Structure 1
């Protein structure tokens, strides 16, 4: 039989002794009081630990007594009732239920538990910390955060709330670290009690199952280590701003700075002093010992282009190119940190994960990351945006990285990379004023060469929209301006991936600024053939054709500021008047002139200008100013309202004409006026016109040429289900019909739609049928006019001369 150990009370002190201590304290200087109290607290803590250890040893010894008695009495048929001093009563006092005392297996279990606990306390007492670091276990609940020197376990008490607790509490961390100056860093392992499921167990007591911690961090105690890690991080661009490093002294698991620096660790370490290298190696060794296996698992997944929700935070390095979205909606950015789980929901069936409550939707988890890209304001500036993805809340489900809504550029397919590079190149070209073509229309439409053309001029847009607020800090480091903005090439290769997907462009048809997808912007391909295909009457008695004269005037236009007028600013513009019957090619001439001059065509109609003199003058001045800024050919189509002769009766029209005359006087650039009522012109206009061209009605040879031009345009569009041979064979018959150019175009458009609806090939029969249907209306109008043509009516009204075929 083992001898009972005697418990002593290390804190038993006489009242007289305590009074003597208080007198000594009062006599000590105030600056020594704090040190004395700290030493006493330390001594008290050590005494408590020793007492607890002795208590456990006594309990284990007493259990041995009971076990021995049980074994000895098992050979006898009966045994006397235990006395109050027997070990049975001792066991009851240490907390073992009396009904369990006769169960030998239960007693053996209690013996092992208490012996293990006593042994653990003994080891912790001897090695509470490594000479280099220590681990502190923090249990977090609604009421407080408690620290322990040993891993906490569940203490399950029947009928009461289970408690997560450790065996060795730490009441004053500051004193503990002061008494252990060799500790370089402290590892904090946090246990969020609300996020950890309580194990199912029938009996009360402390569980043996290890409890996983929910979060881990490292606090750098050593000043040298703190300076060393700061110097190390500063050598890795981006890690100074990454989430997971809270200042220079606290690191968050899984310590991504070590994961991403593994290949260059030794190289970066050589740049540090020797003592700091040694301390940093201690920190690195701990991280790799705890997370090296996890790092290898992540490497294996990434090498296969896969990732799991548990390891999403490993996807990005700080300042790494990423892509959000797919196809035309994709956009690049540069990360400013790492993934973080914003809703803080723990993984299902997870042994490690972010903290969170139990009342959240557990099926999904949301991850976000901050990244910047270039954006327009008054200048190009870096705009910070938060991107996010929602994943299934399971640890182990493998996902293809390329299919994630947000992923690193290195996992993006080549076609999308090329799309982003083309976008960036086009955006850089459009950062200043640029005339572009926009291909966002239905294929196969017969449109003029000037359709879908836009002027991109961000500076002008801002000047016209003063209410657009600035979104950047003026003079800040995150803007692109000055010399870097004016260079031919972007600042770096990454720029191509970081541009906004849209820019503002001015639509010359709608007279509005619109958002243009940069992916749909193309370089303007000038249609020089349009001018060659232009059907005009040539002066047979002159060595110079009308086309040559037009081309000469456009290409050799007098430069602004070199006018021969004695008044500065007057007479520097080129004003052309194109007059003739409708559909004879006036508007097409203006469009063709803009193509050969390689200038934007700015069309203006009476509806754009208005009917009030003040608004007319203001609008025209604005339009002419834009025309000068963008070097446009301005087309004032159907300008009869502004050119009509003034009289004494209509003062309102007189005011409009006078305003128009004033604007023309100082107009610059190329201005083309079209009209079919030249007989009503005010005589003041004729002296302001540099060249006036008359467009007579189309003759049979001219109509034949126009029909051929339209058929060839269909061929160039690679239009399907068109019998081009049949159309060309009947060109002479088509030209016999008295149609103008606009009517010919309309006939071809309706015939195409008719043949497609019937799912038949477009041939002469469809064209002839549509011509006959249109001709019925012309016959009706001829009868209405008493058999007179439209030209004869116009001649009788003094508008223009009638032409004969």
Structure 2
């Protein structure tokens, strides 16, 4: 082990303190003990021209003055005072704290002859009597003994050291290297309860040793304890005792409402600024905290911090941006809400197809939660979490971690076509329209084929092309006159198999071929990652035959063909102009469906279905037969009833006569009502 001895160099090893006048000459006066001879070790080395390498003479000198040296047991044992003591030596240690005075270049101990000190790997070992004390309070003075520079608390008891490492694991590395604190040390005061508990776990002797430390702490912090006892129970604090209101491990909240968020304190401290950083020289109290999030693969903690500027006087803790959980006006209500929200967050960690009630909306929107996929698709939503696997209970969060779960869940809104943040409290189950499937004008054979084709693909039954990455998707073309229900057919399929439906139109993809390809590729990627069916409505504009000389259009068609080839999800295309489609697309369609013009019976079913979903509209069966004869397609029927919905608010119930007037006004007929 690397050892550095501060000791005089002597030319004659036989010299001793008794026959060397230098040793008997006082070099400075100790106000606490004028009879104790002192020596300036470093100056003495310099005056005699010696060096630390003169170890043989140095060893004899040490023996001559009756001092001890410490030989480490191994080269990696760490500081000598951390070497494992036998049970007997631990028992022999005195459960007291001794005060030691240290002078720069000179050292003295109150009431004792000069004590020799060795320094090993940066640590300090007090020898002789002081090695037997569990603690040493070391005060460092200037060389003239007039100014106190620093005070340190040296931990000499291995039992105290062990209790401190257990109570303050974040200090373990430092304590293993240098078991000493600059005194006073606020962290010891704030962790005093943990230190006491750790001592109890180690046994009676440890309790005895730690009691000395706790007594020293309480004596040092008497004034602060009085302030704490007077303020914190009343929910108030001055700036100087904020550290005691926010101990590590405690839960804090960010508001007085029952919907407040909770966090766990990891550290808190005062931060002083340089004059250039803060002209008024004010301090800041920093609260470092953590909360639980999910990165798509595992639960973990995310760290953050908040700053509280210095304030004068006393404030209620609830006036601060963050305050202790116990200071909340309704702790039980908040606890219930935090647990409920956390459990909902835990449930939404994977894939979910939900309804989301945004407080700004009048109706819920359908959204997809797929944390891992969304964080990969949207860089701004990516997070880094700290590992917390050791805290999980069979992969599940403990209740104290459930309460500090984030209230932000990334989701994709199928209505707004955007990645957004949602509150776990606002997600709920979707109420699917089971009747919509029955309203389709397609025959049962065609309906069953569509249902089977889409459902099996989404379950993972797929045929792969011989070329890797090709042929894994399904492209289905629906064609027919405008308004016959092509879009409604796709919506009914999605509703029937309870899958998300992501709809895009040509106007959303841009104008240039570069924008079109980029936006279309992203739409395909989003639908695949979110396990959604993708509907490209009126896609014929990008499928029209290529024309010689029209470079931009031809590039768009080629890009579309290439993307279809490698798409891995379900894609529905609708068109009313099949005769204009480029022949190259025909081999890309896995299934083509001709949606016919609805018959009179089909129109009757659609009127009945849409009217039943619109409150205030009453149509008798015989009147329904008349309306069905008007020859409207599905879109026209839906538009008519949409207008009726607005009239209901002013006129009350709407009957066939009103519907007939609307049809006439809109140019759809209406005669005979």
Pairwise TM-score range, normalised by the shorter structure: 0.5 to 0.7
1:372 aligns with 2:290: yes
For residues 729 and 393 of structure 1, what CA distance do their matches in structure 2 show?
A: 82
Task: Give secondary structure in 2 for the equivalent of 1:42.
Answer: coil
1:393 aligns with 2:293: no
Indicate how the Cα distance of structure 1 residues 249 and 693 shifts in structure 2: closer, same or farther if over 3 A, else same.
Answer: same
Structure 1 segments unaligned to the other structure (5+ residues) = 1-26, 48-129, 137-146, 148-169, 189-216, 345-356, 473-477, 716-722, 783-805
Residues 584 and 740, structure 1, Cα contact 8 Å, conserved in 2: yes
1:582 aligns with 2:491: no
Q: Spell out, residue by residue over 1:579-632, the C-alpha distance to the aligned partner (whole angstroms, 9 max, x if none).
A: 233333221221221233333323232234456667656655554455444433
**Correspondence list, 1:644-683, <5 A:** 644-645=544-545, 653=553, 656-683=556-583
Give the corresponding residue for 2:153: 220
Structure 1 counterpart of 2:421, from 495, 516, 522: 516
Q: Spell out, residue by residue over 1:447-506, the C-alpha distance to the aligned partner (whole angstroms, 9 max, x if none).
A: 8xxx542353445644775x999968xxxxx4468x999x98345444434444435444
**Correspondence list, 1:20-419, <5 A:** 36=24, 38=26, 40-42=28-30, 132=97, 174-175=107-108, 177=110, 179=112, 184-186=135-137, 219-221=152-154, 223-225=155-157, 227-237=158-168, 240=171, 248-250=179-181, 257=188, 261-262=192-193, 265=196, 268-269=199-200, 271=202, 274=205, 277-288=207-218, 295=225, 298=228, 311-325=241-255, 330-338=260-268, 340=270, 367-374=285-292, 382-389=301-308, 393-395=312-314, 399=316, 401=317, 404-412=320-328, 413-419=331-337
Give the corresponding residue for 1:555: 455
1:454 aligns with 2:372: no
**Correspondence list, 1:590-739, <5 A:** 590-609=490-509, 620=520, 623-645=523-545, 653=553, 656-683=556-583, 685-686=585-586, 688-698=588-598, 701-714=601-614, 723=616, 739=632
Residues 345 and 424, structure 2, Cα contact 8 Å, conserved in 1: no
For residues 30 and 739 of structure 1, what CA distance do their matches in structure 2 show?
A: 124
Indicate how the Cα distance of structure 1 residues 247 and 335 shifts in structure 2: closer, same or farther if over 3 A, else same.
Answer: farther
Instruction: Give 1:638 deviation, angstroms.
Output: 0.6
For residues 558 and 41 of structure 1, what CA distance do their matches in structure 2 show?
A: 90
1:537 aligns with 2:441: yes
Q: Spell out, residue by residue over 1:284-305, the C-alpha distance to the aligned partner (whole angstroms, 9 max, x if none).
A: 2344456579658746865666
Indicate how the Cα distance of structure 1 residues 320 and 648 shifts in structure 2: closer, same or farther if over 3 A, else same.
Answer: same
For residues 641 and 324 of structure 2, what CA distance do their matches in structure 1 show?
A: 52
Task: Give secondary structure in 2 for the equivalent of 1:318.
Answer: coil
Residues 353 and 366, structure 2, Cα contact 8 Å, conserved in 1: no
Task: Give secondary structure in 2 for the equivalent of 1:405.
Answer: coil
Instruction: Give 1:440 deviation, angstroms.
Output: 1.9
Indicate how the Cα distance of structure 1 residues 462 and 536 shifts in structure 2: closer, same or farther if over 3 A, else same.
Answer: closer
Indicate how the Cα distance of structure 1 residues 296 and 688 shifts in structure 2: closer, same or farther if over 3 A, else same.
Answer: same
Structure 1 counterpart of 2:432, from 523, 527, 530: 527
Greater gyration radius: 1
Give the corresponding residue for 2:654: 764
For residues 178 and 290 of structure 2, what CA distance do their matches in structure 1 show?
A: 22
Structure 2 segments unaligned to the other structure (5+ residues) = 1-14, 36-94, 114-128, 140-149
Indicate how the Cα distance of structure 1 residues 187 and 315 shifts in structure 2: closer, same or farther if over 3 A, else same.
Answer: farther
Task: Give secondary structure in 2 for the equivalent of 1:232.
Answer: helix
For residues 740 and 518 of structure 1, what CA distance do their matches in structure 2 show?
A: 41
Q: Spell out, residue by residue over 1:720-752, the C-alpha distance to the aligned partner (whole angstroms, 9 max, x if none).
A: xxx466899986776676654444544555555
Residues 638 and 673, structure 1, Cα contact 8 Å, conserved in 2: yes
Residues 242 and 337, structure 1, Cα contact 8 Å, conserved in 2: no
Equivalenced residue count is 567
Q: Spell out, residue by residue over 1:631-673, the C-alpha distance to the aligned partner (whole angstroms, 9 max, x if none).
A: 3322121122234345668675455445544544554442212
TM-score scaled to structure 1, two decimals? Answer: 0.55
Q: Spell out, residue by residue over 1:5-45, the C-alpha distance to the aligned partner (whole angstroms, 9 max, x if none).
A: xxxxxxxxxxxxxxxxxxxxxx9989978855656513798
For residues 385 and 290 of structure 1, what CA distance do their matches in structure 2 show?
A: 32
Residues 253 and 324, structure 2, Cα contact 8 Å, conserved in 1: yes
For residues 579 and 344 of structure 2, what CA distance do their matches in structure 1 show?
A: 49
Residues 437 and 524, structure 1, Cα contact 8 Å, conserved in 2: yes
Give the corresponding residue for 1:502: 408
Indicate how the Cα distance of structure 1 residues 480 and 416 shifts in structure 2: closer, same or farther if over 3 A, else same.
Answer: same
Indicate how the Cα distance of structure 1 residues 42 and 618 shifts in structure 2: closer, same or farther if over 3 A, else same.
Answer: closer
1:778 aligns with 2:667: yes
For residues 131 and 510 of structure 1, what CA distance do their matches in structure 2 show?
A: 71
Deviates more, 1:315-324 or 1:684-693: 684-693
Instruction: Give 1:773 deviation, angstroms.
Output: 6.2
Residues 288 and 305, structure 2, Cα contact 8 Å, conserved in 1: yes
Deviates more, 1:739-748 or 1:579-588: 739-748
Task: Give secondary structure in 2 for the equivalent of 1:333.
Answer: strand
